[in-house]
Amino acid sequence: MEVYHLYSGGKDSSLAAYILRSIGYEVKLVTINFRVLDSWKYAKKTAEALGFEHDVIFLDKKILEKAAEICIQDGHPNRAIQFIHERALEEVAKMEEVKRISDGTRRDDRVPMLELPKARSLEDRFNVQYIRPLLGLGYKTIRELTEKLFIIEIRESEKLEKSDYEVELRYLLRQKGIDPLSIFPKRHYQSRVLGWKEIY
């Protein structure tokens, strides 16, 4: 049972990968990249540290361009992040070999988050299973599990060597002469997983 798991190297997507592997899936981590930065390399490094197979999936830069437009229009990044994530899920789901896709979205997330009709639509349109191991877990549960499992580095978003959509989106905004801090929250801490606390 192979599952393609959207992976940023952060603690949520790492925890979801751990759960999937623990219950018997063959987990293939995939990191989305738009060829704007080589920020996928941080996720690859973490994936290797955790002992997972990892690939990069390059998507059309037009998706990122459109997301930049959306967040400039909105003055905040939520709808843009949601837009990228939906496109990412669709692009992975439509790949011939993909029967199961997953991500690290959590119960208490606002974005990215597929409401039930959209989740079912994704499954039906692409004939895949969409698995969200963290959807039934609250923030306390996730904090407890990730603190137990992982060595985690926490820094401000602006400084962190990360692989999520935000990194390339901020870079593209800067290229367009827009200060990402006018759109993203100023002190927004994010995490990166460096490895296991013990071997799992």
Q: Can residue 140 be called a binding residue for its own copies (CB under 8 A)?
A: yes
- Which residue, 3 or 183, has its beta carbon nearer to its own copies? 3
61: its two tokens: 């830069």
Letter string b/e over residues 27-65, b meaning 16 or more CB atoms within 10 A of that residue's CB: bbbbbbbbeeeebbebbbbbbebbebebebeebeeebbe
Number of residues interacting with its own copies: please give it, by CB under 8 A. 28
Phi then psi for 107, rounded to 5 degrees? Answer: -55, -40
State in angstroms the smallest separation of the CB of 30 from its own copies: 18
Between CA 5 and CA 146 the distance in angstroms is 18
Q: Can residue 123 be called a binding residue for its own copies (CB under 8 A)?
A: yes
Q: Can residue 22 be called a binding residue for its own copies (CB under 8 A)?
A: yes
Q: Which of 171, 183, 3 minimizes the C-alpha distance to 79?
A: 183
State in angstroms the smallest separation of the CB of 135 from its own copies: 3
State in angstroms the smallest separation of the CB of 60 from its own copies: 28
Between CA 18 and CA 76 the distance in angstroms is 31
Q: Can residue 133 be called a binding residue for its own copies (CB under 8 A)?
A: yes
- Give the residue, chosen from 78, 107, 195, 196, that forms a contact with its own copies under the rule CB under 8 A: 107
- Give the residue, chosen from 136, 159, 177, 186, that forms a contact with its own copies under the rule CB under 8 A: 136
Between CA 198 and CA 116 the distance in angstroms is 36
* Residues of the shown chain interacting with its own copies in the complex, contacts defined by CB under 8 A: 1, 18-19, 22-24, 100, 105, 107, 116, 119-120, 123, 129-138, 140-141, 144-145, 148
